[in-house]
Chains A and B, each alone.
Chain A
């Protein structure tokens, strides 16, 4: 392989309109209920994002921003604390991505969830409670307003505001340098892998 990283796009910047999803501890069962996981591909998961929060038993729409017409084109989600806690299912970020989300701004993220997002090239950037509240309010008031998530500079610009946000160092580097596709990166180290395997007492070569 000549350059294992050549096909991995850089994600240093995401822009678009926002959608607020309020509440702490929104777990993966809420993001994508387990009954929608009985699939062998991720295609089509988008319509089931937040399903039980969006629909009642009779499939009537409930109050949820993902149901609102004005947010249908949004690609930047603004959430609160501990978003994505629960299971390691990648179906959760997959569902959000297929619904149209390209970046998430929040108070904090569950670790596996953030890792799963990174593997899809979706930045998960964080800011404090107040900043997020204001941002959610602004998005609510300006559903067509443009948000710019600058992963490299760790800022979010909206309206006349520019706020600083945090992006985990490794995540930022991976996104900005286009080295988030770890399969390609790691496959290039074939010899070193064999060497490590050979040094382990329990691995038969």
Chain B
């Protein structure tokens, strides 16, 4: 892998680890949907017990389903694919299109991974045709912490441990994309 790309990846991974270290317990606690109390009756008690047993099995690897699968429906990537973050924050629209198109054409060399594009560029007509999961970072005027910063920390926690590459990796001819991030298996 080219030294500069490796350094970029290392820097991104470090940056995302730092962001993920920021907790937002109030957000999680306030907006976490809790299961409703079970209605009374033998049927609902039995149904609840079955549900508890199923969730116990599902919590055990390898049967545990990914709570946030990143492979979209109607796309050829494996439904069980793990996320590979493609970092495109502060990138121009033209560079993003060229790089993503190139990455998309070479994605077969990254089996088991589905791309998650992290970007502040609103080019959704292009994204629709790309077929990738897009995590968008808009600026919204308002109060408190800048929205895009808070959301980025949230995403860093959501995708904690996922491999990441800069979108400009798509413009580089390097075999290292195949062996670098793909070698870091990610477990939720």
Asked if A and B are interacting partners, one says no
